[in-house]
Chains A and B, each alone.
Chain A
């Protein structure tokens, strides 16, 4: 097994719903709840939970503001969030490169990532 598999991916970002949120926010200054809901296809409850997880990990700052009488929940990626996302992308890139070099099969991925198939 390649040395790149010795390091686990960041579990907070690795989850697909949170990865979608982080991907969208990585190229924006900030986005609101309605946009993230449309972008990720998550329900209100699920998105709310995932944002709380990311906020607890220190990757996002979630703030509330009012435009007139309409509330707006804004999510902004923190510097540590940006760094974590960059590291995650580097991890994925290295993983894919090593995989192609070693000629791994698709079945080997869950074992390499330490997840159950």
Chain B
């Protein structure tokens, strides 16, 4: 029974074994965070909007980059795996996200707007709780799949959120610091994982899979 569970855990852990996901996500987060920070420093609304737009554009771009890298690095070495399909379809997830952005967020702002101002103490605590909720799934995954390096990313996110809270940095700058620091840590852990992966998995000498 334990053997079955171990095999299942290895299969679930496989897509994180090369660190490419962290590397790409971390780069995107670091870029978006740097954009927010620069926008805050220059106090430019246009730059803030451009950063936000870039952050959204980085999602599909990151997915394409990760797929491109995996096709060339991971699959020829240790094989191709497709993780289980999510329970919700792409359209359902898109709909839920839009519902959150267009309905839930304006409602929250309408009723709790002054209290959640990022420049007030309550707003900062709410922001920290939000960060903790965002990284909670990552903690569960790290512990369940024994991917302890992800805990460094979690610690960085909480540290950056906490530092912003304590140092009373303006709201946008806190988001910038949080994204940039978390992204950079993800790049570091991803690079280490990729380095270890490449060292332990030399490229297969087979031209093709020589399957059935």
- Residues of chain A having any CB pair with chain B under 8 Å: 19-20, 23-39, 44, 48, 51-52, 62, 64, 67, 70-74, 89, 92-93, 96
- Residues of chain B having any CB pair with chain A under 8 Å: 1, 3-4, 7-8, 10-12, 14, 71, 75-76, 78-85, 204, 206-212
Given the known inter-chain contacts A31-B80, A34-B80, A38-B79, please indicate yes or no for A64 contacting B212, CB distance below 8 A.
Answer: yes
Q: Is the CB of A27 within 8 A of B11?
A: yes
Contact of B209 among A28, A30, A34 (CB under 8 A): A34
Q: Is the CB of A35 within 8 A of B85?
A: no
Give the nearest-CB partner of B12 in chain A.
A27
Secondary structure dominating the interface of A: helix
Q: Is the CB of B80 within 8 A of A74?
A: yes
Q: Is the CB of A89 within 8 A of B211?
A: no
- With the chains together, A48 CA to B210 CA distance in Å? 9
Q: Is the CB of A24 within 8 A of B79?
A: no
Q: In the complex, which of the residues B8, B78, B207, B208 has the most CB atoms of chain A within 10 Å of its own CB atom?
A: B208
Q: Is the CB of B14 within 8 A of A35?
A: yes
B85 CB contacts on chain A under 8 angstroms: 29
Q: How far is the CB of A29 from chain B (nearest CB, A)?
A: 4
B8 CB contacts on chain A under 8 angstroms: 23-24, 26-27
A-B contact pairs, 25 of them (CB 8 A): A24-B7, A24-B10, A24-B11, A27-B11, A28-B83, A29-B84, A30-B81, A30-B82, A32-B80, A32-B211, A33-B79, A33-B210, A35-B14, A35-B78, A37-B79, A48-B211, A62-B211, A64-B212, A70-B208, A71-B208, A72-B80, A72-B209, A72-B211, A73-B211, A73-B212
Report, nearest first, the 5 A-B pairs whose CB atoms are least far apart: A73-B211, A35-B79, A34-B79, A33-B211, A23-B7
- With the chains together, A25 CA to B81 CA distance in Å? 9
A32 CB contacts on chain B under 8 angstroms: 75, 79-81, 209, 211
- With the chains together, A93 CA to B76 CA distance in Å? 37
A29 CB contacts on chain B under 8 angstroms: 82-85
